[in-house]
């Protein structure tokens, strides 16, 4: 595929054309940054969620799952710091009237310098060939060193100003770096202002007695407020975790890039409760564990990197992102945060109730510390989907478009295709679907020539096509075609289930991790 933005456009149009993602309320011209998952998209999303859920809850006897409500008592958000501090710095360009996140403008500027460095490294690698020592080059090349230093200084200053809420300095930084509006090219900026990202709503029928509520901006607080309930009813001993998946809402200032940044999205979060003093150890363990979960999908080690935070959120003593190489560059996919005892202690203060654990080994009660892993399901969807979409040139020059999903994540695992719509082939094909559907999602497809049906299943990412022909009626065998290799083999109908199941089950994926 050609350049980044072309590939991204292809991702978006393929997602729509093949029934993965539709703009929300499209017949009313859509709603900005809100999307619906379509028939194939919801299946892919469910499979990703299942992989995450089972990796957390099924594989760990000390992690349990809950499903808390989206609406919570409003004081929750005072205690969590979201009412006062869940802000993004916004800036408007006076010429284009476009609104931006001030920190993102600076980060995009930094990404451009990073791209320069990478270009320099690539060029040198080409020039020096086999003798090229990348680490040495990065450590000694004056231009690379100068650019790296520049990046460090900018990010440090941005981090500091945001931490101190020195918004005038954020603007000064944008001006000093001569950052212009990507739309108009103008550098005529307004002052930087804070903007709270929570969506407000109301509970109650009459306007004067209604209670102001928020749609939750993260799922984590539903876990914190249930910490004692779960610990007591589950007789959980520290360390233990509570996992949850569910919708979260943020009134993002700039929501672009398709499902990367949405206003309504889904999170998969796990809060791991630990004794104070062990947070570094658990933070490292969860960083490693989460990276392994990603790598088990086989999408390529080079697609991921850690980004340790300079600027920490108000609740954290360490934080790192797992970044993924999206079609528009490396961006955050997941966060691993050491949240200290901030949330539980704060809920103690606001409720006057003890949220403590009696540790029989230490013979004392304390507020547990927390390490959390937090991943956006929609971002994970985008990572899997954009990585899967390929255009391959076949022998003879034809192009096939294929979604190379990891097999266990594919919406449909097998498609059964009667070669023709007569002679009893459809009936046998339907029998096969009826046999396989108990164990994995199997579809029936009889429209068009078989070659075109193969192409359609490739474009949907279906791992196996099962073709029923006249010989099948005689000897109970079929052709099994595999998506990635396009190899076809003749196998007995009786062997289909065992041959396919091992390759497409979530259990197979879990065993690799
Ligand atoms: P960003 O810096 O991209 O705004 P964040 O650091 O605010 O993200 P967290 O609060 O750590 O994000 O949320 C955890 C995860 O939730 C993120 O890693 C991301 O995958 C997902 N996420 C956050 N905001 C959005 C959004 N607006 N749309 C889709 N996914 C999101």
CB 154 within 8 A of CB 176: no
The CA 379 to ligand 1 mean position distance, Å, reads 8
How large is the average pLDDT for residues 488-501? 96
Residue 417 has pLDDT above 80, yes or no: yes
Residue pLDDT, tens place only, 356-377? 999 999 999 999 999 999 999 9
The secondary structure of the chain in percent helix, strand, coil, rounded to multiples of 5, reads: 45, 25, 30
Cα–Cα separations (whole angstroms), residue 412 to 61, 254, 383, 462? 30, 34, 19, 5
Domain range summary for the chain, segments of one domain joined by +: 41-68+197-202+209-393, 87-195, 394-510
Residues lining ligand 1, judged by CB closer than 6 Å?
Answer: 218, 250, 252, 261-262, 265, 267, 332-335, 374-376, 378-379
The CA 131 to ligand 1 mean position distance, Å, reads 41
Q: Which residue has the higher pLDDT, 359 or 315?
A: 359
Q: Which residue has the tokens 């954009």?
A: 386
Q: Which atom of ligand 1 lies at the shortest distance from residue 269's CA? A: 14
Residue pLDDT, tens place only, 251-277? 988 777 899 999 999 999 999 999 999
Residue pLDDT, tens place only, 28-71? 998 888 999 999 999 999 999 999 999 999 999 999 999 999 99
Residue 2 has pLDDT above 50, yes or no: no
The CA 35 to ligand 1 mean position distance, Å, reads 16
Residue 391 has pLDDT above 60, yes or no: yes
Q: Ligand 1 pocket: which of 103, 218, 339, 374 to mutate (most atoms <8 Å of CB)?
A: 374
The CA 26 to ligand 1 mean position distance, Å, reads 25
List the residue whose alpha carbon is closest to atom 19 of ligand 1: 376
Q: What percent of the chain has pLDDT over 70?
A: 99
List the residue whose alpha carbon is closest to atom 6 of ligand 1: 335
The pLDDT value recorded for residue 312 is 75
CB 90 within 8 A of CB 102: yes
The fold adopted by the segment(s) 41-68+197-202+209-393 is: BirA Bifunctional Protein; domain 2 (3.30.930)
On average, the pLDDT of the chain sits at 94
Question: In CATH terms, is domain 394-510 a member of 3.40.50.300?
Answer: no
The CA 182 to ligand 1 mean position distance, Å, reads 23
> Which string of DSSP letters, residue by residue, matches 448-470?
S-HHHHHHHHHHHT-SEEEEE-H
């Amino acid at each position: 595929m050609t350049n980044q933005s072309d590939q991204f456009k292809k991702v978006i149009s393929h997602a729509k054309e093949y029934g993965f993602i539709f703009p929300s309320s499209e017949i009313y011209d859509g709603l900005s940054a809100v999307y619906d998952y379509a028939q194939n998209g919801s299946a892919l999303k469910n499979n990703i969620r299942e992989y995450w859920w089972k990796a957390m809850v099924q594989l760990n006897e000390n992690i349990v799952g809950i499903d808390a409500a989206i609406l919570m008592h409003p004081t929750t958000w005072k205690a969590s710091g979201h009412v006062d501090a869940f802000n993004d710095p916004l800036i408007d360009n006076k010429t284009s009237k476009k609104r931006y996140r001030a920190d993102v403008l600076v980060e995009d500027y930094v990404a451009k310098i990073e791209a320069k460095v990478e270009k320099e490294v690539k060029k040198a690698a080409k020039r020096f060939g086999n003798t090229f020592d990348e680490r040495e080059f990065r450590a000694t090349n004056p231009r690379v060193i100068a650019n790296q230093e520049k990046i460090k200084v900018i990010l440090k200053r941005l981090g500091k100003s945001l931490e101190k809420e020195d918004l005038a300095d954020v603007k000064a930084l944008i001006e000093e770096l001569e950052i212009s509006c990507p739309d108009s090219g103008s550098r005529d900026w307004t002052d930087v202002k804070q903007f709270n990202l929570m969506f407000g709503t109301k509970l109650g029928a009459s306007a004067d007695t209604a209670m102001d509520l928020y749609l939750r901006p993260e799922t984590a607080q539903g876990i914190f407020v249930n910490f004692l309930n779960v610990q007591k009813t589950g007789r959980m001993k520290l360390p233990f975790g509570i996992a949850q998946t569910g919708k979260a809402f943020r009134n993002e200032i700039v929501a672009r890039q398709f499902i990367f940044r949405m206003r309504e999205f889904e999170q998969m979060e796990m809060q791991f409760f630990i004794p104070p003093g062990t947070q570094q150890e658990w933070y490292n363990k969860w960083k490693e564990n989460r990276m392994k979960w990603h790598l088990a999908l086989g999408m390529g080690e080079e697609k991921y990197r850690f980004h340790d935070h300079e600027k920490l959120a108000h609740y954290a003593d360490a934080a790192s992102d797992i970044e993924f190489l999206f079609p528009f560059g490396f961006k955050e996919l997941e966060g691993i945060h050491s949240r200290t005892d901030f949330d539980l202690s704060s809920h103690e203060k606001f409720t006057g109730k003890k949220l403590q654990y009696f540790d029989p080994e230490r013979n004392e009660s304390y507020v547990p510390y927390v390490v959390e892993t937090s991943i956006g399901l929609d971002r994970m969807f985008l990572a899997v989907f954009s990585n899967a979409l390929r255009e391959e040139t076949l022998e003879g020059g034809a192009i096939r478009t294929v979604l190379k999903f990891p097999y266990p994540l594919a919406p449909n695992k097998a498609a059964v295709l009667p070669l023709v719509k007569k002679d009893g082939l459809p009936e046998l094909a339907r029998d096969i679907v009826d046999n396989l559907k108990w164990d994995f999602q199997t579809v029936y497809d009889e429209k068009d020539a078989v070659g075109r049906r193969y192409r359609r299943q490739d474009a949907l990412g279906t791992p196996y096509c099962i073709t029923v022909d006249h010989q099948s009626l005689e000897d109970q065998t079929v052709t099994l075609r595999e998506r990635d290799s396009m190899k076809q083999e003749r196998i007995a109908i009786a062997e289909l289930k065992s041959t396919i199941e091992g390759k497409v089950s979530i259990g197979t994926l879990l065993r690799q991790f």
